[in-house]
Amino acid sequence: MDERLVPLCDLCGQPGGAVTFHTRRTVVIDEGPGGNLRDMGDHWSACARCAVHIRKRSLHLLLNRAVLVWPEPLSGPQRQKLRRNLKALHSKFFAAEPREMKTDKEDS
C-alpha cells in the first residue's frame, strides 16, 4: 500500500481503519427521491474505537462516536439530521451481519 495513503474508518471517518469487517450482504443506500442507489459494498474498515462498538453490536455508541468526531461544527438541528442519516447507514450495516476478518498477522 502507498505509504502516503491513510486508511479511514468507514463508520466515523477518522484515520485508522485498522480492522476489517465483512458483511453477509452488500449494503445499499437509497439517496432519496430522484437520487441514486449507492452500493456501499461488503468490506468495511473500522478504527479501533468503532470496532469495539461493532463487536458489542452497540448502534447507540457507534452513532455517538461518529457524531462526536464529525470534522465540522454542527448546530443542534444539523447534529440531529447527521445522526438520523448515520443511523440509517449504520442500521443497514448491522442488519447485513458484519463479521470481523482476521488479519494476516493473526493467521500466523
One pLDDT digit (tens) per residue for the chain, 108 residues = 567 778 899 999 999 878 999 998 888 877 767 767 777 778 899 999 999 999 999 999 999 999 999 989 999 999 999 999 999 999 999 999 999 998 655 444
Percent of the chain as helix, strand, coil, to the nearest 5:
40, 25, 35
Name the pTM for this structure: 0.82
Give the side-chain half-sphere CA count within 13 A for 39: 5
Q: Which three three-digit cell numbers place residue 7? A: 486508511
Cα distances (Å, whole numbers) of residue 76 to 15, 80, 106:
25, 6, 43
Of 81, 96, 107, 104, nearest in space to 23 by CA: 96
The amino acid at residue 97 is E
Task: Write down the H helix ranges in the chain.
Answer: 48-55, 59-68, 76-95, 104-107
